[in-house]
Amino acid sequence: MNSTVSVKEALRGLIEIYENDFSHGYQGNDKEVLDKLFLKLIVAVTRFAQGIRYCGKIECRCSPESNIKFLVEANYDTIMGNLLAGDYGLSEVPLSRIRDFLDQFRFHEVR
């Protein structure tokens, strides 16, 4: 999958946003639920970046690509509206580029 940001940059951005903006700044009542979702997303992108697979089939539910696609599709409004909302975050990777990286999994079939 092609993106304007590499998987390693996207991962870096997700971790920086999680640590700088979310962990130390988010005050909502749903913080525990969002924390779990954010960490699942970071783990899935880490598996993708590192090539950690349990089988060789990209379309398999156990693949990192399928896992990212499932998380993004099932939680799109929450991820884009709560976790990665706004124009700026405390990361060297622009939020718009992280959102674009995740969007590619939402709009394409995993093959």
DSSP states along 43-67: HHHHHHHHT--SSS-TTSTTSHHHH
In this prediction, residue 56 carries a pLDDT of: 84
Please give the pLDDT value at position 90.
86
* Domain spans of the chain, in order of start: 7-107
Positions in the chain short of pLDDT 70: 1-4, 109-111
The pLDDT of residue 22 is 92
Q: What is the pLDDT of residues 42-69, one digit of tens each?
A: 999 999 999 999 988 888 889 999 999 9
Alpha-carbon dihedral angle through residues 85, 89, 93, 99, given to the nearest 10 degrees: 0
